[in-house]
């Protein structure tokens, strides 16, 4: 008798449960990691334990007990603990260090994911549930321009991620899945009529290196060759199925099949957070009418990296705060305001010309509007401190 659908042991030959391809297995088969995989997991654990300069959440929460409890497990799509931890093992400077190869990983490997999620997202406990979506409709006028004189903020950006229902995450996707997903979302882009959203899709396949590099340098497009994603097995078949949609003004953009299936982005020069959020709400609502997305009752919108679960919202400004950013306690001030500091070219980059990317850190256990408000209130406070310094 045939019971479930799951692929052979190696993730490299997975045929996933997309809308069409499934692999049928016999009732008696129990998905178990093979000896080689278990050995790699144990070696990874030993490497992390021996790395004194590694401070990732993965290292902190991957205890011997967790390894022993989870090392033989395998999801129905064939993902093991190795797929979860391999990026953090290869990149000892990771902040988080783990990814979910498919949605089931969040439950099967719960003893590892839950404490990481709890620590990253302001104590979101195993029995807590993500609140209903509240993007902030009708409330954007509360978010008046943070910097009307243009003294501090270069630009404001709010992004959220979405996963197409019926597809796993990057490591389990086939080349056919990538093409299929890109085809579906392109059709949706073609229907966008609102002047604020209407635009064109640019596949990475066929884009000139010059155009690609310019879009990256201008902060519109994702980077290529991210070592954290590569080690997570998230860049297979690159650039197939990857691309960017944007309106003429490049104020509404959608990334296709980079870290997540979709990243919806609204951005513009200056500090008018309300306008940026208003446009994002319009984009999300228009697209979600046409595409079903994966949402978990407890974890909210599902994403590849546990740091993005829940609302998936990162609201950021590129800001110059020359006086307070020079102080030794600048990071502590931002931590206390629950804000995250990044460099000017995104995560893992450095500041340039005194410009920092400052955003809300947690995305789970609060609503979308609350995430944006966290950034808004925090930045307002930082600007006041800068003016007084
Ligand atoms: N407020 C902003 N104004 C202009 N560009 C921004 C702003 N915030 C982020 N960016 C740019 O967006 C690009 C992507 O940044 P980054 O990868 O850090 O974040 P992300 O898209 O939120 O995804 P992730 O957190 O998964 O890395 C970078 O080029 C970054 O400089």
In-domain check, residue 163: yes
In-domain check, residue 363: yes
245-249-255 Cα angle (round to 5): 20
pLDDT tens digits along 296-325: 999 999 999 999 999 999 999 999 999 999
CA distance 378 to 364: 18
CA distance 360 to 343: 14
Q: What is the pLDDT of residue 26?
A: 41
- Residue 30 — pLDDT band, cuts 50, 70, 90? low
Question: In this model, does residue 22 exceed pLDDT 50?
Answer: no
CA distance 246 to 222: 13
pLDDT tens digits along 118-129: 999 999 999 999
- Looking at the 3D structure of the chain, how many domains does it have? 2
Q: Whose CA is nearest to atom 24 of ligand 1?
A: 347
Mean predicted lDDT score pLDDT of the chain: 91
What is the enclosing helix (H) or strand (E) of 24?
A: strand 24-26
CATH code for the domain in which residue 365 is found: 3.30.590.10
Helices and strands, counts by H and E, the chain: 13, 12
ipTM over 0.90: yes
Q: State whether residue 194 is helix, strand or coil.
A: coil
Q: What is the pLDDT of residue 345?
A: 75
In-domain check, residue 133: no
Range of the domain at 82: 2-120
CATH code for the domain in which residue 11 is found: 1.10.135.10
Measured in whole angstroms, the distance separating CA 128 from the mean position of its chain's CA atoms is: 21
Q: Whose CA is nearest to atom 20 of ligand 1?
A: 346
Claim to verify: residue 228 and residue 355 sit in the same structural domain: yes
Which residue in this structure is represented by tokens 């502590």? 332
CA distance 316 to 358: 5
Higher pLDDT, 29 or 347: 347
Q: Which atom of ligand 1 is nearest to the CA of 260?
A: 26
Claim to verify: residue 113 and residue 221 sit in the same structural domain: no
Which residue in this structure is represented by tokens 């299929």? 180
- Residue 343 — pLDDT band, cuts 50, 70, 90? confident
Q: Which of 184, 159, 218 is nearest to 360 (CA)?
A: 159
Claim to verify: residue 268 and residue 159 sit in the same structural domain: yes
162 labeled part of a ligand binding site: no
Residues whose beta carbon lies within 6 Å of some atom of ligand 1: 155-157, 159, 219, 259, 267, 314, 316-318, 342, 344-347, 357
Claim to verify: residue 240 and residue 95 sit in the same structural domain: no
In-domain check, residue 365: yes
| Contact in structure between 180 and 110 (CB atoms under 8 Å) | no
- Residue 366 — pLDDT band, cuts 50, 70, 90? very high
3 labeled part of a ligand binding site: no
Claim to verify: residue 216 and residue 364 sit in the same structural domain: yes
Claim to verify: residue 286 and residue 371 sit in the same structural domain: yes
Q: What's the token pair of residue 105?
A: 């990983």
Specify the DSSP class assigned to residue 211.
Answer: H
Q: What is the pLDDT of residue 37?
A: 97
In-domain check, residue 131: no
- Residue 354 — pLDDT band, cuts 50, 70, 90? confident
């Amino acid at each position: 008798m045939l019971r479930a659908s799951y692929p052979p042991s190696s993730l490299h030959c997975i045929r996933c449960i997309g809308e069409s391809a499934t692999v049928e297995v016999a009732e008696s088969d129990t998905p178990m990691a093979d000896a080689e995989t278990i050995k790699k997991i144990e070696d990874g654990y030993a490497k992390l334990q021996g790395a004194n300069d590694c401070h990732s959440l993965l290292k902190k929460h991957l205890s011997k007990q967790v390894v022993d409890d989870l090392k033989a497990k395998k999801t129905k799509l064939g993902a093991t603990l190795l797929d979860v931890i391999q990026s953090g093992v290869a990149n000892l400077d990771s902040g988080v260090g783990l990814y979910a190869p498919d949605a089931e990983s969040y439950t099967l490997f719960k003893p590892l994911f839950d404490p990481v999620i709890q620590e990253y997202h302001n104590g979101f406990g195993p029995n807590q549930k993500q609140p209903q979506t509240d993007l902030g409709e009708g409330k954007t006028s509360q978010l008046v321009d943070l910097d009307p004189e243009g003294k501090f903020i270069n630009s404001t950006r709010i992004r959220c991620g979405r996963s197409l229902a019926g597809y796993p995450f990057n490591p389990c996707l086939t080349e056919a899945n990538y093409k299929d997903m890109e085809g579906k979302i392109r059709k949706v882009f073609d229907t966008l009529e609102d002047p604020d959203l209407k635009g064109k899709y640019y596949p990475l396949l066929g884009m000139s290196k010059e155009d690609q590099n310019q879009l990256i340098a201008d902060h519109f497009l994702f980077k290529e060759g991210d070592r954290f994603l590569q080690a997570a097995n998230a860049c297979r078949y690159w650039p197939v199925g990857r691309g960017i949609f944007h309106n003429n003004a490049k104020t509404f953009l959608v990334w296709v099949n980079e870290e997540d299936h979709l990243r919806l982005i609204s951005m513009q020069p200056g500090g008018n957070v309300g306008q940026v959020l208003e446009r994002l709400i319009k984009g999300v609502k228009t697209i979600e009418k046409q595409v079903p997305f994966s949402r978990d009752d407890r974890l909210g919108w599902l994403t590849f990296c546990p740091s993005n679960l829940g609302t998936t919202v990162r609201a950021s400004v590129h800001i110059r705060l020359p006086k307070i950013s020079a102080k030794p306690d600048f990071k502590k001030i931002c931590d206390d305001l629950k804000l995250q500091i990044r460099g000017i070219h995104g995560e893992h980059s450095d500041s340039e010309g005194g410009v920092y990317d400052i955003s809300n850190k947690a995305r789970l256990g609060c609503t979308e509007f609350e995430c944006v408000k966290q950034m808004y209130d925090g930045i307002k406070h930082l600007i006041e401190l800068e003016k007084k310094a």
